[in-house]
Structure 1
Amino acid sequence: MNDLIETLRKLGMTDYEAKAFAAITKAGSGTATDIHVLSGIPRSAVYGVLTKLNEKGIIEVQHTKPMKFRAVSPDRAFEKLKEDYYAESQKAFEMLENIYKTHEVDLKEEIVWTINGVKNVNDRMIKMIESATFEIIFAASYPSFHKIMEAYPVLEKLKLALQKRLEQGVKVKITGSTQHDADAIAEVLPGAEIRTYSDKITMAPVKGGILVVDDTEVLIAIIKEEIGNEDLTAIWSNGNEVISIFKHFVDAEWRACTIPE
């Protein structure tokens, strides 16, 4: 009985409502006095509780003297509780979403955020790619773009997101380390502009990668140890000064790179 009461409370009932409904269901039907005795609810609170349960549509009232109350069938009660729970959940979600959107404007004042974990980094990158309207620059120097999915399988969704943006006319520019890298990238992302590091660049400038979208967002992924490490970390910003610095860097790198054969 206690487990039932606890479960009913989790579905949105008050403690008294849960106890009263459990008591009515067990008894089949009863007067307010019966419910008071069976449930242990104070006599002064019983009618108020029964009125609430009636409003929820999970008990019925027989207008005799004294009035009698009975529970509806369990499947009907479950459907009503589920509907009410969903409606309240949806209402809470909408309220939270409105609050989040309000704060989202304020968040733009923040310059830099750190993102930890492969999945979280992946989710942010996909969100950036999906928001792009004219240009995506992916300076993935180590590992090269086509090897990223091998190292971090969860990032496979990046390829799909980039393919979709290419189909929608967004320019995608990617740098690779070698001619082999360029060929592999071209195979998975036909239509992307690809360049490789020239002989003048003796080593990859970043152990990780840089993603710049529309001059409005930048993400710097950092590989601390071995490739495939689940503790991938990234720095994300939509601050104008930060974007300007890294956009200048990737543009200069792009110009210094070689167009593959």
Structure 2
Amino acid sequence: MSVDETEAIDAFERLGLTSYEAKVFIALHQLGSGTARDVDRVADVPRSQVYSVAESLEERGLLEVQQSSPIRYRPVSLEEAERTLQNRFEQERERAFAYVDEVKQDSTGEETQEDIWTVRGRDRVDDRVLDLLSRADDRIVFGTRLPEFITEPLERALETQAAEGVSVLVVSRDETIRAQFDDLEGVAVDSPPKSRTGDQRSGRIIIIDDDTILLSVVDDDGCETAIWSAGSLFASVLVQLIEASEEVHDPSSG
């Protein structure tokens, strides 16, 4: 991987260093060790700034100072510098996410139960589907006309839930999809009503228990967009409307 100095400085800035700190650190590795004058000669950093920048890098654990006259600086090894920056990143990451997690928990009791969410993009919809499947207590209905939506993680999730006693139904007009799930123990398969055979926009439908639903559509470019709602009155009503229209049939209901 070829990286020029500007890209390296930008990368160091994203890791938390200032531009001057990155330049001095790079310059000292070019020199091996050196004085402020030496650094000024090879780096675009004013000599008057080198002293304070070097002091900051020392506090960060990225260089060592030799108390000579003039003062000399030596960078720590790249391996040590990498560990130092990585540890700092991990500490900041933990601090940031710990706060967000604390705020999230504090606000949980105030969230509305009527939220309807939108998810765009195949990978993000995949992740949301797997998350919703993991929440099932009693039943799952999964429907799609598109074989590309049948992934190994999806199959494993459905099979796992079926093994744990959850009623699992897969609905598809595609024979290969139905045949694929016929081999999974505890998973029932069915076909949608014939009135749906002209549908060319639907992506997938997921019903979890009686109060969680996800519906997606696929545009002409193949991009998937889904709406979903969990534990809401909206989801409960929509589930009832879909089942009343015979869009899906739960085998456990007889």
Change (3 A) 1:125 1:32: same
Structure 2 stretches lacking a partner, 5+ long: none
Q: Offset of 1:42 from its aligned partner?
A: 4.2
State the Cα RMSD in Å.
3.9
Letter in 2 for 1:189: L
Q: Offset of 1:128 from its aligned partner?
A: 0.7
Q: TM-score, with normalisation over the residues of structure 2? A: 0.72
1:207-243 deviation per Cα after TM superposition (whole angstroms, max 9, x unaligned): 4453211233211233567xxx723333212363321
Q: Offset of 1:196 from its aligned partner?
A: 5.4
Change (3 A) 1:102 1:124: farther
Change (3 A) 1:163 1:233: same
1:97-120 deviation per Cα after TM superposition (whole angstroms, max 9, x unaligned): 556667777774564333334333
Q: TM-score, with normalisation over the residues of structure 1? A: 0.71
In the alignment, structure 1 residue 41 sits paired with structure 2 residue 36: no
**For the residues of structure 1 that align with 2:208 and 2:198, how far apart are their CA atoms?**
18
Structure 1 stretches lacking a partner, 5+ long: none
In the alignment, structure 1 residue 123 sits paired with structure 2 residue 119: no
8 Å Cα contact 1:222-1:234 kept in structure 2:
yes
Letter in 1 for 2:239: K
Q: Offset of 1:164 from its aligned partner?
A: 1.0
**For the residues of structure 1 that align with 2:79 and 2:247, how far apart are their CA atoms?**
68
1:160 to 156, 161, 177: 156
Change (3 A) 1:173 1:29: closer
1:169 to 154, 165, 169: 165
Identity of aligned residues (%): 28
In the alignment, structure 1 residue 51 sits paired with structure 2 residue 47: no
Letter in 1 for 2:233: E
What's the counterpart of residue 21 of structure 2?
17
SS of 1:230 mapped into structure 2: coil
SS of 2:13 mapped into structure 1: helix
What's the counterpart of residue 221 of structure 1?
216
Once the two structures are superposed, the pairs formed by residues 178-197 of structure 1 within 5 Å of their partners are 184=179, 187-194=182-189
What's the counterpart of residue 225 of structure 2?
233
Counting matched residue pairs gives 244
1:170-215 deviation per Cα after TM superposition (whole angstroms, max 9, x unaligned): 222344669x789736623321345556xxx652499445321123
**For the residues of structure 1 that align with 2:223 and 2:26, how far apart are their CA atoms?**
49
**For the residues of structure 1 that align with 2:250 and 2:42, how far apart are their CA atoms?**
83
**For the residues of structure 2 that align with 1:22 and 1:52, how far apart are their CA atoms?**
15
SS of 1:114 mapped into structure 2: strand
Letter in 1 for 2:153: K
**For the residues of structure 1 that align with 2:248 and 2:75, how far apart are their CA atoms?**
77
Letter in 2 for 1:129: L
**For the residues of structure 1 that align with 2:22 and 2:226, how far apart are their CA atoms?**
48
In the alignment, structure 1 residue 246 sits paired with structure 2 residue 238: yes
**For the residues of structure 2 that align with 1:258 and 1:61, how far apart are their CA atoms?**
73
**For the residues of structure 2 that align with 1:186 and 1:15, how far apart are their CA atoms?**
57
8 Å Cα contact 2:182-2:189 kept in structure 1:
no
Higher relative contact order (CA 8 A, sep 6+): 1
Change (3 A) 1:23 1:44: same
8 Å Cα contact 2:242-2:248 kept in structure 1:
no
Q: Offset of 1:35 from its aligned partner?
A: 3.7
**For the residues of structure 2 that align with 1:161 and 1:118, how far apart are their CA atoms?**
17
SS of 1:169 mapped into structure 2: coil
8 Å Cα contact 1:182-1:195 kept in structure 2:
no
**For the residues of structure 1 that align with 2:20 and 2:178, how far apart are their CA atoms?**
69
